[in-house]
Amino acid sequence: MKKNTKTFSCPSLHHALYLAPDMFRHCCKRFFVSGQIKGDVKIYPVNNDDDIDVARILTAKRELYDSINRGVETQCSGCPLLTLDIWDPLEKLKINLLSIEAHSVCNMKCTYCSETYYGGLKAKYSLKKLFEHFHEADAFDKDINIVWGGGEPTLMDDFEEIFQLFTHKLTPKSNKLFTNAINYSSLIEYFLKKGQLTITISTDAGTKETFKKIRGADVFDKVFCNIKKYHNVANNGVIIKYILTKDNNSFEEINNFLKQINKYELNKCNFQLSSDFKEQELSHEQAINLIHLFKGLIKNGANTCHFDDHLRPRLNRKIREIYNSTNKHKSDFQFIIDYFEKFHDKTFIVWGAGQLAYMMIKHGQHLEKSKIAFFVDKDKKKQGKRLCDIVIKHPDFIKQVDYPIIIASSKFYNEIYSELIDMGISKDRIMDSLII
């Protein structure tokens, strides 16, 4: 590809590596094409340490990138996150997102999960060897972000040693760990206290019965007790996640969840709302009760509450459907409708110039009668460039105007929100992610 020519790619294809027990992947995104789930794009299978090959990974990324831009059918065909932009040449592997999902050992069996994450497989390669190879090849970006998942990360062989190796040696820009919190970890506690770790814990229920049904383990009270212990030591580092499914979306269940949050004094936590990736659309009832959950968490004092990449497009489509109809249930969404109307014909600033921002411009309903003054992003490589012909600036430019601000980032929503507050930006200027 010629330099400075617009081509199709995405940040994951260019700069991410997902470590599965028996393969390397470009991403963990899932999308529907003709009703079929696609995504989880594979690089190549891994059978032993000899397959830890930086050059081979780079070659695989180049080949996929070239195929996409030749119009060849690939694993990425139909992905809504492919973005037409000027991408840096793939001359050297520079990983800025490392997702460590190197085993599928888990002490739960959630209904919305897949065997990929609870199949009981251990890594067929050494994470220590991988670190050595990548470090020697200078394949880690200096601003790397690390995500720990899998199965349950704390059940990984040598978890504490591996965690400290990657954390101390790479000093990641962000260090995020997904845990079910069945087992309390003193290591997690230590890094939470230091502000060097963020943890996300899915709860997905307001009652013991629903929790056991969805998550496959009878540990409802134990998990909430451990969440409280983490919250008591964390510097704003705990995110409670609620994944909406057919079994936990009732009005009663959500009210019980809100009561549980009150009971354990978790009101001021950060919250992330999601949906079952296996379901292409939200039902009307799910959308209504989701909005009820969002309003309830905000009313009870949540530090932040945002919608992740699985939920946003589904909710956006449902809101658009209701908003543009004469549906008799339209009043159920009056909260959303009023919010839309409030910001029509406004000018915004958008923090984030990546995939979510691109999707927001292409599909976000609230921008149809509004405009973006400019984007801001801390990535110096993006500053001065344009996204959809709109300039990208340094975040300091926010202070020079008084436009409302939209946070166009799911991964770093909480961090950006906190930074805006630290900059002296009023909460009234920060837009709820609901509208994106």
Domains contained in the chain, CATH given: 179-342 (no CATH), 344-436 (3.40.50.720)
Higher pLDDT, 111 or 50: 50
Lowest-confidence segment of 81-95, 211-225, 358-372 by average pLDDT: 358-372
Q: What is the DSSP letter of 325?
A: S
Position 327 scores a pLDDT of 60
Q: Per-residue pLDDT for 436 more than 60?
A: no
Q: How confident is the model at residue 250 (pLDDT cuts 50, 70, 90)?
A: very high
Cα 279 from Cα 277, distance rounded (Å): 5
Q: How confident is the model at residue 317 (pLDDT cuts 50, 70, 90)?
A: confident
Q: Per-residue pLDDT for 1 more than 60?
A: no
Q: Per-residue pLDDT for 364 more than 70?
A: no
Residue 22's φ and ψ, nearest 5 degrees, are -130, 20
Q: Of 4-8, 353-357, 410-414, which has the strongest mean pLDDT? A: 4-8
pLDDT tens digits, 42-63? 999 999 999 999 999 999 999 9
Contact 247, 215 (CB under 8 A): no
Where does 250-325 have alpha helices with state H?
A: 251-263, 284-299, 311-323
Sign of the torsion angle spanned by Cα atoms 284, 289, 294, 299 = positive
Q: What is the mean pLDDT of residues 143-155?
A: 94
Position 365 scores a pLDDT of 61
Helix, strand, coil abundance in the chain, percent, nearest 5 = 40, 20, 40
Q: What is the mean pLDDT of the chain?
A: 88
Q: Per-residue pLDDT for 169 more than 90?
A: yes
Position 412 scores a pLDDT of 81
Q: How confident is the model at residue 368 (pLDDT cuts 50, 70, 90)?
A: low
Residue 50's φ and ψ, nearest 5 degrees, are -65, -20
